[in-house]
Structure 1
Amino acid sequence: MTEYDEHDPGLPGLARVAAYAALHTTEWGVRTSLQSWKRVGRAVTDPEEAAALVHDAGRALDLVGEVARSVTTGTPVAQALIAAAERVNGSTNGRLNGRAEPPKSQAETLREMGQDLLSRSRDVWNTDEGHPAYERILGELAPDEARILMLLLTGGPQPSVDVRTGGPAGMVHSQLIAPGLTMIGARAGCRYLDHVPAYLNNLFRLGLVWFSRESLRDPMEYQVVEAQPDVLAALHSVKFAKVVRRSIHLTPFGEDFCRTCLVEEEHLAVASFPEHAVPPEIDED
């Protein structure tokens, strides 16, 4: 085979690249073809491998173009290919068998998120408004639950009653017959009244409401509730029964959520909302 001068200006740049690459990469191609086809086979069933293969193929095309441009501007072929190889080695550093580096552990990710949170807490120009959990909570609420929250915000704490066994036996050991009977669903205009107990459980789970053992100050609040068919049915289900008055409140977190997410800004400035009791601290003793 006749030797050629890689600096000969008479040989077109692209032809010189092709000739040099063919001469020096034949052996490499034989060695790597089997590995490449194995990667293609893995890519059929492995989305991660497929993405890595597409990325590598695109990167290879980019490097060929860069080598061609370098040669046509006067860069020696060998030097252009060496530079391209160095770039390939740099871009694949830390990759194994065509796969990206393993993802960070959960502990490392959480630690980075915590450091970012502390950094933002020290930023005096940070203008974040509303708790970051509000967006997630909005996605976990049903429309009827939003109506219940607005009722609690604008109408204040709502009455709730438990029906328990009474009489002489009830003074020693009272059994619960029907818990948490309310008129919240009707007063809020809920579409699915049968779902109200589940709605309240979800709102409690999200930290927006809490169930107080204390009754409201105004006993008149309970008259309509205690006259409801479900309350009367529970009272008549046993020989001796009694009504225990409770109440349902927004938590401070729930109040802020409602003001931030459910009340229009122009109404927020002029509205006066009823007060809610604060949940008691949990006694861990």
Structure 2
Amino acid sequence: MEPNPDREPGIPTDLLGVARIAGQSLRHIVGAVTKGAVHTATDLVDDIRSGEPISQIFDERVDLFRRAALSALGLTSTETGVPVETKVDAEDLKAMGDAMITEGWDSAQQPRELHPSFVPILHDLTPDEARILRFLAVAGPQPAIDIRTKAPFGIGSQRLADGINMIAAMAGCALPDRDHHYLGNLSRLGLVRFSTEPVADFRRYAFLEAQPPAQAAYRSVKMRAISSYRSIYLTVFGKQFCDACFVLGDYTGGGWAGDDRGDIYLGKGPRLP
């Protein structure tokens, strides 16, 4: 089919193109279309499912759905063909939500093992962040420490350093010094969690306390400084994401996939179960 010369340049006219613009899955686009365009969207999806090539679907119908989908998702196209954000009022949001619920009654449209947000989440990751996720998936919760000045009952205690950990280095990141940026983004995406609970093996914290950032924090004050034991681990959603997106079978996390080091305890402190 010959291209339409009147079509706005730079704007995809198929469902995949709309999905790329909106950063949403096909299911989300169809669900987000306002009620006035639901029938058009449904008919178009039926055509695609029946095996009809997108290139043979009528230009007018595809373009109509494209415009409706962009509008429903708060986007519009400029003269140059670049989508821009438009104002969405309360009624638009209600229409989008109702359309999503109505479309969601079709069990075939419901995601099961693969959540529709997995693909856009992958696009939001750097390679180093992917390495961190893979490491946490096989190595489990990892220790982290905050360093604070010691004060009676913690009143007036000052934080000197926080979140000191070795996750990025142990995961083989190219830029391990950017671990706070990486972990912050992974937390924003709901993949990792920062906990005040320590890991089971307290001996692991001694290694963190010997690291240069921790030693610099200890020396930065004349008064005594203490460590607060923390941990960083994958959320349930993060585990599901890693299982779906990474090959974990042959990866051992530098030997941390198992915790059988065969060493012995020396001195005082809690023992492993």
Q: Tell me which interval the TM-score lies in, with the shorter structure as reference length.
A: 0.5 to 0.7
Paired position in structure 2 for 1:57: none
Residue 248 of structure 2 corresponds to residue 261 of structure 1: no
1:129 Cα deviation after fit: 3.2
Matched, 1:112 2:99: yes
Distance in 2 (CA, whole Å) between partners of 1:140 and 1:235 is 36
**What residue identity is the alignment partner of 2:101?**
G
In 2, Cα distance between the equivalents of 1:147 and 1:209? 13
Q: How far 1:203 moved relative to its partner?
A: 0.5
Work out whether 1:220 is the aligned partner of 2:220: no
Where does 1:26-65 land on structure 2 (aligned, <5 Å)?
Answer: 51=7
Superposed structure 1 runs of 4+ greater than 6 Å apart: none
- SS of 1:118's partner is coil
Larger C-alpha radius of gyration, 1 or 2? 1
Higher helix share: 1
* Cα 1:117/1:156, change in 2 over 3 Å: same
Structure 1 position 223, deviation (Å): 1.9
1:157 partnered with 2:144: no
Q: In the aligned structure 1, how far is the partner of 2:71 from the partner of 2:136? A: 45
Q: How far apart are 1:224 and its partner, in Å? A: 1.4
Sequence identity, in percent? 41
Deviation sequence 1:183-213 (CA, Å, 0-9, x none): 1111011111222101101100111010110
Gaps of 5+ in 1: 1-49, 53-90, 92-99, 275-285
- What is the CA-CA distance between 1:162 and the residue it aligns to? 0.2
Separation of aligned partners in 1, 2:200 and 2:7: 65
Question: CA offsets, 1:112-133, max 9 Å, x none?
Answer: 222112323xx4x978531111
- Please tell me the residue identity of whatever aligns with 1:186: A
Mapping for residues 1-285 of structure 1, pairs under 5 Å: 51=7, 105-120=92-107, 123=108, 128-168=112-152, 171-239=154-222, 240-263=224-247
- Equivalent pairs counted in the alignment come to 173
One-letter amino acid of the structure 1 residue matched with residue 242 of structure 2: C
d(CA) in 2 for partners of 1:109, 1:241: 54
Secondary structure in 1 matching 2:105? helix
Q: Give the counterpart letter for 2:122 in structure 1.
A: L
The code of the aligned residue for 2:147 comes to V
RMSD: 3.3
1:151 Cα shift?
1.0
Instruction: Give the whole-Å Cα distance in 2 for the aligned partners of 1:241 and 1:127.
Output: 50
Residues 123-148 of structure 1: CA deviation (Å, up to 9, x unaligned) = 4x978531111111111011000110
